[in-house]
Structure 1
Amino acid sequence: METTELAVRTGGEQRVVDLTAQVQDALDGWEAGDGLLSVFVPHATAGLAVLETGAGSDEDLLRALAQVLPSAGPQERGWRHAHGSPGHGRDHVLPALVSPSLVVPVLRGRPALGTWQSVCLVDTNVDNADRRVRLSFLPG
């Protein structure tokens, strides 16, 4: 198995970060053939998604998450997890909805994604600007 860790700086705002080019760079460096790529974010307040970026879907995802997991207003008093910025408790619920891991099939050294699909880090936590993402390739 080949493995590496990506350092991703998300800054102090909610973001969806496209990791597809970095995933491909890792596969190229390993001279990967066919197999499975595990992508894992070892953080309690971030997740991963496969979605279209650049056409508004990334912003739509953040808006939908804000509706499902509101961070401000009267609801913020309902979050029991209370440290960090106001409403930070919702960031700890995020990985239950946006998984911290995913597996992507790899064919001939390329992620077998659909035409408009990208591997993305989803980070709603404005308190932690530095993230790590673990890539592990299992040849098959």
Structure 2
Amino acid sequence: MIRTIEIQLPHHERGYHLVTAEIFNRLPQLPEVGLLHLFIKHTSAALTINENADPDVRNDFASFFDRIVPDGAPYFRHVYEGDDDMSAHIKASLLGASLTIPIKGGRPNLGTWQGIYLCEFRNDGGSRRITATIVG
């Protein structure tokens, strides 16, 4: 069985947002065993899995990525949509557009302290679309 659905996440402000429940609550019944593939359909936001308990993780992500890829760097040429344009694209490429999560017992099989983050790199990114593909 292969099934694909589209998930629309509402606008999230710039930052790193735990969206595990938002995504999982929109999934259909999952097979007993399989894979869940999530793909964000944007070039200025990313998905990643990381620690879901300490909110400082979000601040540390922002501090790190804003330092290595600053908005408005004078060497960026692709700035048609503002100072956060090219930096958002680079950050999205560094973290990636997709995740694959095993399914076990009819549930996504994340670790105890793992959560899915929407990494929003634009000051006004709008809503974001994710394609979820379920294989089982």
Fold shared per TM-score above 0.5 = yes
Which residue is equivalent to 1:112?
Answer: 109
State the SS of the aligned residue for 1:17: strand
What is the aligned-residue identity percentage?
Answer: 26
2:46 partner amino acid: G
- What is the total number of aligned residue pairs between the two structures? 134
Query: Does the alignment pair 1:3 with 2:4?
Result: yes
Moved beyond 3 Å, runs of 4+: none
> What is the alpha-carbon root mean square deviation over aligned residues?
1.7
In the TM superposition, residue 17 of structure 1 has moved relative to its aligned partner by 2.2
Which residue is equivalent to 1:38?
Answer: 37
* Aligned residues of 2:84 and 2:121 also touching (Cα < 8 A): no
* TM-score in terms of structure 1 length: 0.86
Give distance in 1, aligned partners of 2:22 and 2:104: 17
Query: Does the alignment pair 1:103 with 2:100?
Result: yes
Per the alignment, do residues 25 and 19 of structure 1 end up closer, same or farther by CA in structure 2, a change over 3 Å counting?
same
Give distance in 2, aligned partners of 1:109 and 1:42: 26
Q: Which digits, 9 at most, give the CA deviation of each residue in 1:78-122, with x for residues without a partner?
A: 111111122421111122211101100110121111111001111
Which residue is equivalent to 1:25?
Answer: 25
* TM-score in terms of structure 2 length: 0.88
Give distance in 2, aligned partners of 1:9 and 1:25: 14
* Aligned residues of 1:2 and 1:30 also touching (Cα < 8 A): no
Which residue is equivalent to 1:68?
Answer: 68
State the SS of the aligned residue for 1:77: coil
**Runs (5+) with no aligned partner, structure 1:** none
Q: Which has the higher helix share?
A: 1
2:45 partner amino acid: A
Give distance in 2, aligned partners of 1:102 and 1:134: 11
Per the alignment, do residues 63 and 10 of structure 1 end up closer, same or farther by CA in structure 2, a change over 3 Å counting?
farther
